[in-house]
């Protein structure tokens, strides 16, 4: 039984469309370089390189000689998107990395949705607050007028710790 | 040692999935691919659900809790060995000629490679994507370190609002179970449970396509869905969108099977998958409600009250405990229920001029979706008759309600709508991808029937 031209045309169109769809999906995966970078890193045992930008934060918070870490931001402007993103990346990644130890970047009860909330809250903990939150000092992330970011850890004085 | 422990975790998930599959598939014999898909998907959904129950009773995930689940599963399987025997052998696949065999083999290998990519990147890549650690990875750590009862301070610490304290916990609990088995937080091997959902979704996608397509087109369409570049990129990252899409696919496939078969078992599998979806993301809860509304309408029309009751009971059992617990968590981010007021919607209708063009732009982005959506449009034209069939009506209704839901969310959101669209729309469309693929298959089937009707004689 011969198929009608319309039937044949539909059949061919559908088949070609499906082949194209498959080809496009495979092309998309092939072109998505990050997928292959990840595979290469996974298979060669270099997976930590993939997270290099985050590893800097991880190493920094891990090196702080304190149980919990209290963090204050100096020199950052809540109205500058870059400043907001910079501090956001630090406290969000740091909080993840440290847990179950805690990274405190705002007063208890402050609702933090974005880095802007953190900067607008102007967190400036007292020695008593730091001690009450089981931390041994204050980590400061400082943005200089020359746009250089530096980190400083101020330990609590001995007598205040023992008090 | 960690690899062995994670492998045992996978085996226990599959064991649990086998028990559930046995319970929920009833007396009907089913094909191997369907049984395997159910074992993967139900197991990966049930394990975190049970771990959540334990956690609500004050027992966090541990080797002991996972071992108890394994022991219970083995005892059930031993007691039900007659049931197992009655379902064996599984339905054999129809024999294929050499051309079909060759093409099918090539497609199966390619689909397998896509799954392998997801598996390798899950086990090989640490959490680098923002939401993967800020929201899901952090919660997995919290769930690993402390049970949900008493409520860990994390869940009431509003400083952590950025982490969406009220988000459902299925995905992080699945990962926390992995951490418990290996005895420590190891974010790569600990995510071993996630590829099981992807594999289950792949198998059940094929099962769904096969309802309306022949073997080769069904395999092709499965590849088009599971090989969407954006899905392959995100699946290993431990964020909840891809698992949600997997559970939704399971729910929709068995909704459609139930529409055709009227078998309560299919409705129960649908309800189980949807209850897992509801525990995966807040959108899953809303979508579960939409799909269960469709189930309710059909049961009212068919007067099959027992089916509706059984589905409702299953959902309440799975979702209820977490839902009650989550009432005590601050809802400070979206809190869309309180935003959903008629005055608020009317006030923000101007946003539609931003939302609708963005939606279209995302849908036609072939870098993200390949030509998945174009396929739907083409097949809807060529197999237009399916629009009036029950499965066509159900799936088109779902797509419209699904898109409508997300449009309303963007209309009422307290966030900057343009920023929110940039951050979330592509992910929201992942949830819709299974429905789009299944609908394409439905229209394909209608086109084939139209073609046969047009044959002379």
Mean pLDDT of A119-125: 93
Listed in sequence order, the residues at least 6 apart from A72 whose beta carbon sits closer than 8 Å to its beta carbon are: A105, A123, A124, A125, A138, A139, A140, A141
Alpha carbon distance B292, B298 (integer Å)? 10
Mean pLDDT of A90-119: 94
Among residues B20, B79, B83, the alpha carbon closest in space to that of B314 is found at B20
Q: Is A68 on the interface with B (CB under 8 A)?
A: no
pLDDT score of B89 more than 90:
no
CB A22 within 8 A of CB B220: yes
Place B455 in a pLDDT band, splitting at 50, 70 and 90: low
Alpha carbon distance A36, B45 (integer Å)? 29
pLDDT score of B413 more than 90:
no
| B151-165, B169-183, B289-303: least confident range | B289-303
pLDDT score of B264 more than 60:
yes
Q: Which residues of chain B does A21 touch, with a Cβ-Cβ cutoff of 8 Å? A: 220-221, 224, 370-372, 374-375
Cβ–Cβ below 8 Å for B120 and A39: yes
The percent of residues in chain B predicted with pLDDT above 90, rounded, is 67
Cβ–Cβ below 8 Å for A11 and B117: no
Q: Is A2 on the interface with B (CB under 8 A)?
A: yes
Task: For residue B265, give both structure tokens.
Answer: 């078992």
Mean pLDDT of B259-267: 91
Q: Is B375 on the interface with A (CB under 8 A)?
A: yes
Give the pLDDT score at B457.
Answer: 43
Task: Supply the mean pLDDT for chain B.
Answer: 91
CB A71 within 8 A of CB A103: yes
Helix or strand run (H / E) with residue A70: strand A68-74
Tell me the nearest-neighbour CA distance from B382 into chain A, angstroms. Answer: 7
A residues 98-127 closer than 8 Å to B (CB): 99-100, 104-106, 108-114
Q: Is B455 on the interface with A (CB under 8 A)?
A: yes
Pairing of strands A149-155, A135-143: antiparallel
Task: For residue A56, give both structure tokens.
Answer: 């800097």
B residues 317-356 closer than 8 Å to A (CB): 332-333
Task: Closest CB to A22: pick one of B133, B224, B368.
Answer: B224
Helix crossing, B194-210 with B32-56: angle to 10°? 140
For B19-56, how does the pLDDT look when each residue is reduced to its tens digit (9 = 90+)?
A: 999 889 877 788 999 999 999 999 999 999 999 999 99
Instruction: Please give the full DSSP string across B94-123, using - where no structure is assigned.
Output: PP--HHHHHHHHHHHHHHHHHHHHHHHHHH
In this predicted model, which residue has the larger pLDDT, B182 or A42? B182
pLDDT score of B258 more than 80:
yes
Cβ–Cβ below 8 Å for A39 and B378: no
For B115-128, how does the pLDDT look when each residue is reduced to its tens digit (9 = 90+)?
A: 999 999 999 999 99
Mean pLDDT of A113-130: 93
CB B437 within 8 A of CB B225: yes
CB B178 within 8 A of CB B9: yes
Give the pLDDT score at B347.
Answer: 84
For A44-74, how does the pLDDT look when each residue is reduced to its tens digit (9 = 90+)?
A: 888 777 788 888 899 999 898 888 999 999 9
Residue in chain A nearest B187 by alpha carbon: A97
In this predicted model, which residue has the larger pLDDT, B88 or B66? B66
Q: Is A92 on the interface with B (CB under 8 A)?
A: yes
Cβ–Cβ below 8 Å for B127 and A51: yes
| B182-186, B327-331, B393-397: least confident range | B327-331
For B346-377, how does the pLDDT look when each residue is reduced to its tens digit (9 = 90+)?
A: 888 888 998 999 999 988 888 888 888 999 99
Q: Which residues of chain A does B444 touch, with a Cβ-Cβ cutoff of 8 Å? A: 14
Q: Is B389 on the interface with A (CB under 8 A)?
A: no
pLDDT score of B97 more than 80:
no
Q: Is B117 on the interface with A (CB under 8 A)?
A: yes
CB B272 within 8 A of CB B45: yes
For B190-233, how does the pLDDT look when each residue is reduced to its tens digit (9 = 90+)?
A: 999 999 999 999 999 999 999 999 999 999 999 999 999 999 99
In this predicted model, which residue has the larger pLDDT, B140 or B104? B140
CB A41 within 8 A of CB A35: no
**Mutation test of the interface with chain B: which of A16, A24, A117, choosing the one with the most B Cβ atoms within 10 A?**
A24
End-to-end CA distance of chain B: 68
For B285-318, how does the pLDDT look when each residue is reduced to its tens digit (9 = 90+)?
A: 999 999 999 999 998 888 888 999 999 999 999 9
Give the pLDDT score at A163.
Answer: 42
Alpha carbon distance B217, B360 (integer Å)? 27
- Burial environment of residue A109 by CB neighbours within 10 A (0 to 12, 13 to 18, 19 or more): exposed
Cβ–Cβ below 8 Å for A24 and B120: no
Q: Which residues of chain B does A105 touch, with a Cβ-Cβ cutoff of 8 Å? A: 159
Helix or strand run (H / E) with residue B72: helix B63-79
Give the pLDDT score at A1.
Answer: 52
Pairing of strands A68-74, A103-104: parallel
Residue in chain B nearest A25 by alpha carbon: B370
Task: Closest CB to A99: pick one of B127, B138, B223.
Answer: B138
Mean pLDDT of B161-176: 95
Range A68-97 burial, b when 16+ CB lie within 10 A, else e: bbbbbbeebebeeeebbebbbbbbbbbbbb
Q: Is A38 on the interface with B (CB under 8 A)?
A: yes
Give the pLDDT score at A162.
Answer: 44
């Amino acid at each position: 039984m011969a198929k009608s031209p319309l039937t044949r045309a539909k059949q061919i169109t559908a088949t070609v469309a499906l082949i194209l769809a498959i080809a496009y999906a495979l092309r998309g995966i092939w072109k998505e370089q990050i997928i292959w970078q990840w595979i290469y890193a996974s298979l060669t045992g270099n997976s930590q390189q993939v997270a290099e930008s985050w590893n800097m934060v991880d190493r920094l918070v891990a090196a702080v000689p304190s149980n919990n870490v209290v963090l204050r931001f100096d020199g950052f402007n809540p109205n500058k998107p870059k400043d907001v993103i910079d501090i956001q990346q630090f406290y969000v990644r740091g909080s993840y990395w440290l847990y179950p130890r805690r990274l405190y970047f705002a007063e208890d009860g402050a609702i933090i949705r974005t880095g802007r909330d953190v900067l607008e809250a102007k967190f400036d903990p007292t020695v008593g607050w730091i001690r009450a939150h089981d931390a041994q000092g204050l980590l400061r992330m400082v943005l200089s007028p020359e746009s250089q970011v530096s980190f400083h850890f101020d330990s609590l004085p001995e007598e205040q710790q023992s008090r | 040692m960690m690899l062995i422990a994670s492998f045992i975790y996978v085996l226990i998930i599959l064991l649990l999935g086998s028990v559930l599959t046995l319970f929920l598939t009833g007396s009907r014999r089913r094909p191997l691919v369907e049984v395997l898909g159910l074992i993967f998907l139900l197991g990966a959904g049930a394990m975190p659900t049970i771990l959540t129950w334990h956690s609500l009773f004050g027992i966090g995930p541990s080797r002991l809790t996972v071992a108890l689940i394994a022991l219970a599963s083995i005892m059930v399987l031993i007691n039900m060995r007659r049931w197992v025997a009655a379902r064996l052998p599984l339905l054999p696949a129809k024999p294929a000629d050499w051309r079909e065999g060759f093409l099918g083999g090539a497609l199966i290998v390619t689909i397998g490679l896509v799954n392998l990519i997801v598996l390798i990147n899950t086990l090989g890549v640490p959490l680098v994507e923002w939401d993967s650690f800020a929201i899901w990875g952090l919660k997995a750590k919290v769930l690993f370190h402390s049970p949900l009862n008493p409520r860990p301070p994390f869940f009431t610490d509003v400083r952590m609002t950025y982490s969406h304290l009220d988000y459902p916990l299925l995905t992080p609990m699945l990962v926390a179970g992995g951490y418990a088995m290996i005895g420590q937080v190891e974010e790569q091997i600990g995510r071993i449970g996630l590829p099981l959902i992807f594999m289950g979704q792949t198998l059940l996608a094929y099962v769904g396509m096969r309802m309306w397509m022949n073997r080769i087109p069904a395999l092709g369409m499965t590849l088009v869905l599971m090989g969407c570049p954006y899905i392959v990129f995100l699946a290993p990252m431990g964020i909840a969108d891809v698992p949600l899409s997997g559970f939704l696919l399971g729910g929709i496939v068995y909704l459609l099977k139930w529409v055709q078969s009227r078998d309560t078992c299919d409705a129960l599998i649908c309800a189980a998958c949807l209850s897992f979806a509801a525990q995966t993301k807040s959108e899953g809860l809303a979508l579960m409600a939409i799909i269960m509304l469709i189930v309710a309408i059909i049961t009212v029309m068919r007067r099959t009250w027992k089916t509706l009751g059984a589905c409702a009971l299953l959902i309440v059992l799975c979702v209820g405990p977490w839902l009650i617990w989550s009432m005590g968590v601050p809802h400070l981010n979206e809190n869309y229920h309180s935003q959903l007021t008629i005055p608020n919607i009317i006030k923000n209708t101007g946003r539609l001029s931003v939302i609708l063009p963005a939606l279209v732009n995302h849908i036609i982005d072939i870098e993200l979706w390949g030509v998945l959506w174009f396929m739907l449009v083409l097949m809807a034209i060529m197999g237009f008759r399916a629009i009036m069939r029950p499965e066509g009506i159900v799936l088109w209704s779902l797509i419209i309600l699904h898109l409508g839901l997300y449009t309303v969310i963007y209309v009422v959101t307290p966030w900057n709508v343009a920023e929110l669209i940039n951050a979330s729309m592509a992910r929201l469309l992942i949830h819709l991808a299974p429905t789009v693929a299944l609908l394409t298959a439905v229209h394909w089937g209608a086109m084939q029937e139209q073609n046969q009707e047009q044959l002379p004689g």
